[in-house]
Structure 1
Amino acid sequence: PGGGSIELMIEPRPVATSRPFTLHAHIEGLHPAKVAVDFSGVEMNMGITRLELLSAGGDRYSGQITLPVCVTGAMLWQASVVLETGDKVISIPFLFRTTHG
């Protein structure tokens, strides 16, 4: 709403559930007061794990997290980027798959 763009990058790839990984968000045109990412399992209920992203300068944010281990192996996750901008809360979903690591 109102324009803007979000680019989400994950490293290293592939993402393993038993190892930490880093998220980088490049957010243009939205100027959020707060940025977080809510992780939830798509194919299995793993609860919601929230990561608050810290400003990395300008319109870039980053944070590091280790997701819960799924005993079934590879798993599809939804990472919802949550932006608090003024009186609005905007949530943008991204999907990615983890490997059993």
Structure 2
Amino acid sequence: MENKQQLPNATLVLIFGIASIVTCFCYGILGLIFGIIALVIAKKSKEIYLANPELYIGYENLKAGRVCALIGTILSALYFLIIIAYFIFIGAAMMPWGEIMNQ
């Protein structure tokens, strides 16, 4: 049996990917941060794995973390856009349109 080592940052990517999904409804900011960090780390770890796949174990964790990070990033971005649209709508609704139009 060969001495294989754990793929660097595979568990971290999985944790950040899950955290991006869990925190996606915190106004979208935390989920975006966790998701983007996880995707960047996942890209680097995937390059390391593809250079020498026979040396590492834990690629499944990396793939799962990357998928979670993608889902969390997409949900966070959508929620962030909804929050921005909400504040624009509320701001437009609170404008004194009657005074503006009568001038």
**TM-score above 0.5:** no
TM-score (norm 2): 0.23
TM-score (norm 1): 0.23
Structure whose residues are more often helix by fraction: 2
Larger Rg over CA atoms: 2
